[in-house]
Amino acid sequence: MARGKLGSYVETAPANVDLVPILAVGRSSSPKGTDFNIRKIAIAANEGVTFRLNGETFVMTASGMFETAEDQIEVRSLIFEGDAAVNIRFLY
């Protein structure tokens, strides 16, 4: 039995734009995406890229990877502080 659905975003994330509503497009049954819940997220980006996840600031390490465990947090917002080429995979 499926535990969720996978989604991806491989683009340049625009600076200071919350990506969660963008990720919800076409994946939510609610027009405003209120039923969209990211259960796990993995982000690949260049070292030094700064982003805010639920208001907490993170700086991408030399590994270029950031990942949460499944159901560890509810991703409510994801904002990059500058335009950044990213590869985001998420379970919802």
Q: Tell me: the pLDDT tens digits for 37-61? A: 999 999 999 999 999 999 999 999 9
Residue 84's domain spans which residues?
10-91
27 lies in a domain?
yes
3 lies in a domain?
no
pLDDT higher at 37 or 16: 16
18 vs 52: CA distance, rounded Å: 9
59 lies in a domain?
yes
Number of continuous H segments (helices) and E segments (strands) in the chain: 1, 7
pTM of the entire predicted model:
0.89
50 lies in a domain?
yes
The number of folded domains in the chain is 1
22 lies in a domain?
yes
